[in-house]
Structure 1
C-alpha cells in the first residue's frame, strides 16, 4: 500500500520559495497543496506555476496554516520572522521545514524546538547541504575511513551583492549579513567533515550599519583538525571546499553547498570522481523535502541528517562569532 502523499504548504513567496516549489515537483510522494502570502496575487502566481491540481492560494499566513489539506509548512520568509511563522504553523498542528538559518540566534531556535516538542510535530532546518547525495557520500566515506583522517578544511562562500540597503541581505533589522546567509554553509560543512567546533576565532569587516560584509573564521575540531572558513557579500569567491587528510585531498567544487560531484586524490595516486548515492532532486532542495517525507513516514519528529542538536550548536557558534566581530540584531535583546 502506497503511503499518502505529503501535502505541502509554502509560507512566503520570495525567490527561495519558487526554487523549492520547482524542486518539489521532482519529489515522489510530495504535492504542493497551498501557498500563503501577504499578497493574494503573489500566492496565486506561485500556486499556478508549481502547485498540484486544486492548489489553493491564501492571502495570509494564518489562512495557510489553518488549511486542513496541508501536512507540512515550508517557512520561506526572512529569518527574523522564522520563529513567528513556525510558531503559527506548529500551534496549528502542522509539521515544519524552516529555511536556514532556523532563527537569528540560538535562544530563538531553542524556543522553536521546544514548541515542536510540545505540539508533537516534526521540525527540520532546511539545510539542504546535509541532505545532498554527494555530501552524504563524502561523509559516509570519511566515517568508513576511506579517505584517511581529516586534518584541514578550507571552505568559502561569497558573491558580490549589488542590492540596495533595504534588501534583506543588507538590512540589520532583517538579520542581514554574510554570516547567517552564507557562512552557515562552510560552518555546517566543517561540522559534517571534521566534527563539532571546539574553538572558533573570527574577524570581519562591517558596513556603516553594522552588517557583516566579509567574515573569516578559524576553527578547531576534535582530534586537532582545523578549518579556515570565510564568507563574503563583497566578492565573488570560489565557493568551494578542500579537505586535506593524512592520505590525500577531497575537493568539493563550486557550489560547495550542493556540489555536482567530489574529487578524491590520494597521495601519489590518481584522482577519483565521487558521485552521490542516489539522485539529486531538482537542484537539491528536493532532497531535503524527500527527507521530510521519509521521516514522517517513519514517525520521526526530527531528522537524523539535520538533527536539532546540530542546528542549535551551529546557531550558538554563530552567536559567538557575532559577539567577536560586533554584530547584534534586535532579537538578541
Structure 2
C-alpha cells in the first residue's frame, strides 16, 4: 500500500460495482487504480465513465488481480462466483472486500476465509459501517435506550422480470433472501446479538427462486425479531427496535438511513442524525473502514467480523432448507 492513497481494483462491472466506484470518489484516500471484466469493452467503458484519471482497464480478472498497482480487490461479481474470484485475488497476494452475501453457503464462506490466510478479507456489508447504524448499535449496547426486546425489519423491491440474471437465475444464487433479506437479518444481529433459532415461511417460484420470505427468530439474549423480504412488492423497507423504555425507528431505507427517531415511553420523539460524515450513499464509509483496517494491519474487520458473516450464512442456509430453496453449492 502507498502512504497517501489506497489503490482499489474493481472486479466486475455491474450495477453494484458502478455504485461502489461512484462512492470511492467521495471517500478520502481512495483511488480507482484498475477495473477488470471478462470483456475489454466493458472494462474500458467502466474506466472511462467511473474511473480516476489513470484507471487501467483489464480484459480479464487474472490481469486485474496481478496488477502491481492494486492494493485491494473489490469483488463485485454474482454471488455464485465470489469464492472463485476471491481465491484469485488471494493467490495474487491481494486483500479482498467481497460483496454480500460472501458466498452461497456457510461451508463455502468458511472455505473462502480459509483461503485468505493472513490476508485481510471482509464481506461488503456496508450497513454495518454506516455512521448512524454504528452509533445506534453502540448506544443500544450501552443501555441508553433501555433493554432491546424486539426488532422488526423489512427490505424489498418489485424486481421486474427483465432484471439481470443475477436476480432470477438460481445458478447465480438468485432470490430475495440472499440479495435483500440479508439486510434485515444483519440489522437484527447487530442490534440483538447472535441468533439461536429461526423459523421461515415464503413463496418460491417454479424454478426455485424465493420471492417473498418471512422469518421469526430468537436471539441469545432472549429477544426476538420479525424479518421480511420481497422481490414482488413495494415493501416498507424500514426497521425498528422495541425496548423496555421506548421505540427506536429507522425509516426507509434503513440499510443506509439518513436519520432515526427515538420515542421514549410516554415521551416526545427525538430525531437522531448521523454523528459523522456519510461518504456518498454510505458505500464510501465501508471503503474507508477497509482502508483503516489495511492501514492498521488487520486481517478481519471489527465491524463485520468473520464469525458474524458465517453465522448469518448459516441462518440463511437453514432458512433456505425450510423454504425448499437449494443451490448447486449445497451439494
- If the TM-score is normalised by the length of the shorter chain, which range does it land in? over 0.9
* CA offsets 1:79-124 (integer angstroms, 9 cap, x no match): 000000000001101110000000000011101100112xx21100
Report matched runs for 1:176-191 at 5 Å.
176-191=174-189
* 2:91 maps to 1:91: yes
Residue 278 (structure 2) aligned to one of 280, 299, 306: 280
Report matched runs for 1:93-242 at 5 Å.
93-117=93-117, 120-164=118-162, 167-242=165-240
Question: Residue in 1 aligned with 2:301?
Answer: 303
Give, in angstroms, the shift of residue 288 of structure 1: 0.5
* 2:34 maps to 1:34: yes
Distance 1:4 1:210, change over 3 A: same
Q: Which runs of 4+ in 1 moved over 6 A?
A: none
Distance 1:9 1:3 in 2: 17
* 2:252 maps to 1:245: no
SS in 2 for 1:224: coil
How many residues of Structure 1 are paired with residues of Structure 2 in the alignment? 330
Question: Residue in 1 aligned with 2:47?
Answer: 47
Distance 1:164 1:46 in 2: 22
Say which is worse superposed, 235-244 or 47-56, in terms of deviation: 47-56
Distance 2:49 2:158 in 1: 30
Question: Residue in 1 aligned with 2:61?
Answer: 61
Distance 1:17 1:223 in 2: 37
SS in 2 for 1:319: helix
* CA offsets 1:278-301 (integer angstroms, 9 cap, x no match): 111000000110000000111101
CA RMSD of superposed structures (Å): 1.1
Asked if the contact 1:136/1:277 (under 8 Å) is kept, the reply is no
Distance 2:221 2:40 in 1: 53
Distance 2:273 2:162 in 1: 39
Distance 1:222 1:169 in 2: 33
Q: Which runs of 5+ in 2 are unaligned?
A: none
SS in 1 for 2:62: helix
Distance 1:52 1:233 in 2: 35
SS in 2 for 1:198: strand
Give, in angstroms, the shift of residue 277 of structure 1: 2.3
TM-score, normalised to structure 1, is: 0.97
Question: Residue in 1 aligned with 2:257?
Answer: 259
Asked if the contact 1:106/1:319 (under 8 Å) is kept, the reply is yes
Distance 1:239 1:107 in 2: 30
Q: Which runs of 5+ in 1 are unaligned?
A: none
Give, in angstroms, the shift of residue 211 of structure 1: 0.7
SS in 2 for 1:190: helix
Distance 2:162 2:172 in 1: 13
SS in 1 for 2:308: helix
Distance 1:224 1:293 in 2: 36
Distance 1:195 1:166 in 2: 34
* CA offsets 1:37-92 (integer angstroms, 9 cap, x no match): 01111111111222222110001111101100001000000000000000000110
Distance 2:235 2:202 in 1: 16
Give, in angstroms, the shift of residue 166 of structure 1: 6.6
